[in-house]
């Protein structure tokens, strides 16, 4: 397997891991010159509101 394919597989695996079990939030993928350079995950916790 070429180095480029191995690096691409690692990036795709990191993206899959970032969205796994995410119920509320965002995953941002930063791309520069056609290459993924950063993945950010923002997870939000939501709590049910009690009725008055």
Count how many residues are written for the chain. 52
Per-domain boundaries in the chain: 3-43
Residue 31's DSSP bridge partners are 36
Nearest CA among 1, 29, 33, 2 for reference residue 15: 29
- Reported pTM: 0.72
Report pLDDT for 50: 86
What pLDDT, in 10s, does the model give residues 18-43? 999 999 999 999 999 999 999 999 99
Distance from C-alpha of 27 to C-alpha of 15, rounded to nearest angstrom: 8
């Amino acid at each position: 397997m070429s180095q480029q394919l191995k690096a691409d597989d690692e990036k795709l695996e990191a993206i899959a891991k970032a969205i796994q079990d995410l119920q509320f939030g965002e995953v941002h993928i930063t791309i520069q010159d056609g290459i993924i350079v950063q993945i950010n995950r923002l997870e939000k916790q939501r709590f049910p509101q009690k009725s008055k």
